[in-house]
Amino acid sequence: MITIVDYGMGNLNSVKNMLKRIGVPARIASDPASIESAEKLILPGVGAFDPAMRKIRDAGLGEPLRAKAREGKTPILGICLGMQLLTEGSDEGTEPGFGWIPGRTRAFRGRIPDALKIPHMGWNETDLKRSSPLVAGLETGARFYFVHSYYVDCAEAADRVMTTRYGIDFDSVVQRGNIYGAQFHPEKSHRFGMRLLKNFSEIAPC
């Protein structure tokens, strides 16, 4: 059973419906006890970095998530803003992130040509940098649906699984141990997204 974390800033039902479509049991939960008992966790997110971290803290979910990540070694997948929350912080605000992926979330503005629109929105290809159970069966050229104005910049190349080109090359899939992130929306990415979510469902806890 996959637990989708509800902290008030995610397209939860879209993720749950895609998991149901591929035959993966899932529940949406917003209480610490459900996080503590989870076998796998998906941290979705749509919106801004600082409000998201504050909502997680105010809901009492921060410490249970940290315990699952560091002590329980539970597989955790951050999606879109949820991936950005895995980093140390963001250009978008001042709140610290979880810091499970060393690096920072940076703004596209000022780093890409002015002719490119922000947010980066629509389908784009990925470039495979290393193997990971999250992307098993997905090669360079796999296409996913993106909507974001900020991107993750990993501090360590070893955490970088896939990159995507939008004026610059940015990290679109990351992994460090049991922590995974996808900048795109797999729940909106048809067969490629279905494969990634199925892969996550099959990852065994450490």
Q: 192 lies in a domain?
A: yes
| CATH code, domain carrying 146 | 3.40.50.880
Q: Which one of 39, 187, 190, 206 is the catalytic residue?
A: 187
Q: What is the pLDDT of residue 204?
A: 85
Q: 107 lies in a domain?
A: yes
Q: What is the pLDDT of residue 88?
A: 98
Q: 48 lies in a domain?
A: yes
202 catalytic? Reply is no
153: left (phi over 0), alpha (psi -120 to 50) or beta: beta
187 catalytic? Reply is yes
**CA distance linking residue 105 with residue 109, whole number of Å:** 12
Q: What is the pLDDT of residue 142?
A: 96
Q: 151 lies in a domain?
A: yes
Q: 126 lies in a domain?
A: yes
Q: 206 lies in a domain?
A: no
Instruction: Find residue 40's DSSP bridge partners.
Output: 2
**CA distance linking residue 192 with residue 46, whole number of Å:** 21
pTM above 0.85, yes or no: yes
Q: What is the pLDDT of residue 87?
A: 98
**Number of domain units in the chain:** 1
Contact 197, 182 (CB under 8 A): no
Q: What is the pLDDT along the chain (206 residues), one digit of tens a residue?
A: 999 999 998 889 999 999 999 999 999 999 999 999 999 999 999 999 999 999 999 999 999 999 999 887 999 999 999 999 999 999 999 999 999 999 999 999 999 999 999 999 999 999 999 999 999 999 899 999 999 999 999 999 999 999 999 999 999 999 999 999 999 999 999 999 999 999 999 998 76
Q: What is the pLDDT of residue 72?
A: 76
Q: Which one of 80, 120, 148, 154 is the catalytic residue?
A: 80
**CA distance linking residue 143 with residue 189, whole number of Å:** 7
Q: What is the pLDDT of residue 11?
A: 83
Q: Which one of 92, 148, 154, 185 is the catalytic residue?
A: 185
185 catalytic? Reply is yes
Q: What are phi and psi of 201, to 5 degrees?
A: -65, -20
List b or e across 5-27, with b for residues whose CB sees 16 or more CB atoms inside 10 angstroms. Answer: bbbebbbbeebbebbeeeebebe
Q: Which residue range is the domain that position 44 belongs to?
A: 2-201
Tell me the helix, strand and coil percentages in the chain, rounded to 5: 30, 30, 40
Q: 8 lies in a domain?
A: yes
Q: What is the pLDDT of residue 28?
A: 97
Strand, helix or coil at 3? Answer: strand
Tokens of 128: 């495979």
